[in-house]
């Protein structure tokens, strides 16, 4: 299933500014919020879709990559299995920025402000960066790569809680278990009550008295993880794909960071890349240029047979349509350009020398006796 355009999802124009995008997302988030659409799967999908669109478009770097490369540029390649979307926790962890501050929280909707997520500070794991080297064949076809990364993963002994067992907690003495601290201040409008996340327990309402020994109470440990990456066809050196949630695990059951995959390209021994086109330099002999010959050309799908026509001029370019590289996240495909060069030997045998001397005096080898082509028709022939 292909993904919808992020701008379309939020119903904003391509050049919408940050404020317009935020506003549009806020509208969608309210419209499709799970608390308002209980049990409605379609609304939940729309809610997630909008969050994903916002996640990309609200980040200048991601938005630029999306504008340039589409979903593939931000880890959402169509059919690529990349990314895997955002979890509800990811989505709610953003709400502080969207609805916080002057917006007045969620008091407008029943149940929202009181949800268990409200006010709890969510730890976010850091992003991981890896490089993946691909050869031209892999770039042409897309590739599944398994990579081993050393990263923070959830501690198995405590399931990421950081506590030795379920009795290892006591109520937080700062907030008395509420997770919130309330401050009352006097203003000209009367008493104002502001509440914020408890700094001692981070909003949990309890603190760990007996820490898990495997992770020293962090809830995470270093370990190797094998991650399978689906790299879409057509990627390019320097492109960065992001796999959401595959970065470092966060302390004490927070939200995982992302895995950022930097693409590196291995040089092909024979084919040169120019955007989506490939270039191959073909060296033929003088007799082959004059008499024509069948040749084999390497492509990313193996060798193909091509006929060199009699009378082929040096510098002529043969275009093998569709034998280049696919466009990333699209249907187009580049061409393979075969640049023909004619090999001129420096050292020749006595016998050959005689033959060439004969050519030298022969009328048919004289340039003025050529086809009489104009410069422009010659140029045109080069690209036929
Ligand atoms: Zn542990
Ligand atoms: Zn507390």
pLDDT of residue 119: 54
CA 207 to ligand 2 centroid distance, Å: 8
CATH topology of domain 267-343: HSP40/DNAj peptide-binding domain (2.60.260)
Spacing, Cα 185 to ligand 2 middle (Å): 20
Residue 133: HSE in the Cβ half-sphere, 13 Å Cα cutoff: 3
Residue 106: the pLDDT is 33
pLDDT value of residue 365: 86
What's this model's pTM, rounded to 2 decimal places? 0.57
Tokens describing residue 44: 């939940």
What is the predicted pLDDT for the residue at 316?
Answer: 95
* pLDDT value at residue 84: 46
Pairing of strands 317-320, 336-343: antiparallel
Closest listed ligand to the CA of 210: 1
220 in Cβ contact with 155 (< 8 Å): yes
Measured in Å, residue 35 CA sits from the centre of ligand 2 at 27
Report CA(166)–ligand 1 centroid distance (Å): 12
pLDDT at residue 83, as a whole number: 41
Structure confidence at residue 112 (pLDDT) = 31
Residue 180 burial (C-beta neighbours within 10 Å; 0-12, 13-18, 19+): middle
Phi, psi (degrees; rounded to nearest 5) at 147: -125, 150
The token duo for 346 is 């420096």
* 331 C-alpha to ligand 1 centroid (Å): 48
Q: What does the pLDDT read at residue 74?
A: 79
CATH superfamily of 1-71+84-117: DnaJ domain (1.10.287.110)
How many angstroms does the Cα of residue 154 sit away from the middle of ligand 2? 23
H helices of the chain, in order, are: 6-10, 18-31, 41-57, 60-69, 88-99, 136-141, 286-291, 350-361, 375-382
pLDDT of amino acid 157: 93
Q: Which stretches in the chain have pLDDT values below 70? A: 1-2, 75-121, 189, 369-384
Contact residues for 129 (Cβ-Cβ < 8 A; gap 6+): 259, 260, 262
Q: Give the H or E element holding residue 343.
A: strand 336-343
């Amino acid at each position: 299933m292909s993904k919808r355009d992020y701008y379309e999802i939020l119903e904003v124009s391509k050049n919408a500014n940050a404020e317009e995008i935020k506003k549009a997302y806020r509208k969608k988030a309210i419209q499709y919020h799970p608390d308002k659409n209980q049990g409605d799967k379609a609304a939940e999908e729309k809610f997630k879709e909008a969050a994903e669109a916002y996640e990309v478009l609200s980040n200048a770097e991601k938005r630029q990559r999306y504008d340039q490369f589409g979903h593939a540029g931000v880890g959402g390649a169509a059919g690529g299995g990349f990314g895997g979307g955002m979890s509800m926790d990811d989505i709610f962890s953003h709400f502080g920025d969207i609805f916080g501050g002057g917006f007045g929280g969620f008091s407008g909707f029943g149940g929202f402000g009181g949800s268990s997520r409200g006010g709890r500070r969510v730890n976010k794991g850091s992003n991981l960066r890896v490089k993946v080297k691909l050869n031209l064949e892999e770039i042409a076809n897309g590739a599944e790569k398994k990579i081993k990364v050393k990263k923070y993963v959830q501690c198995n002994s405590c399931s990421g809680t950081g506590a030795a067992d379920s009795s290892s907690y006591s109520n937080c003495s700062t907030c008395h278990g509420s997770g919130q601290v309330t401050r009352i201040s006097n203003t000209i409008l009367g008493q104002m009550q502001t509440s914020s996340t408890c700094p001692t327990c981070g909003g949990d309402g309890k603190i760990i008295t007996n820490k898990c020994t495997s992770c020293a109470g962090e809830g995470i440990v270093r370990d190797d993880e094998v991650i399978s990456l689906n790299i879409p066809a057509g990627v390019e050196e320097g492109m960065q794909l992001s796999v959401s949630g595959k970065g470092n695990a966060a302390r004490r059951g927070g939200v995982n960071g992302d895995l950022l995959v930097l693409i590196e390209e291995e040089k092909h021994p024979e084919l040169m890349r120019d955007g989506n086109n490939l270039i191959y330099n073909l060296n033929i002999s003088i007799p082959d240029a004059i008499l024509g010959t069948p040749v084999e050309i390497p492509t990313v799908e193996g060798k193909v047979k091509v006929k060199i026509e009699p009378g082929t001029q040096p510098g002529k370019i043969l275009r093998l349509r569709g034998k280049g590289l696919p466009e990333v996240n699209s249907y187009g495909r580049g061409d393979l350009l075969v640049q023909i060069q004619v090999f001129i030997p420096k050292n020749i045998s006595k016998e050959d020398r005689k033959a060439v001397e004969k050519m030298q005096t022969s009328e048919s080898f004289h340039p003025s006796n050529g086809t009489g082509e104009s410069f422009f028709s010659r140029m045109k022939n080069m690209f036929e």
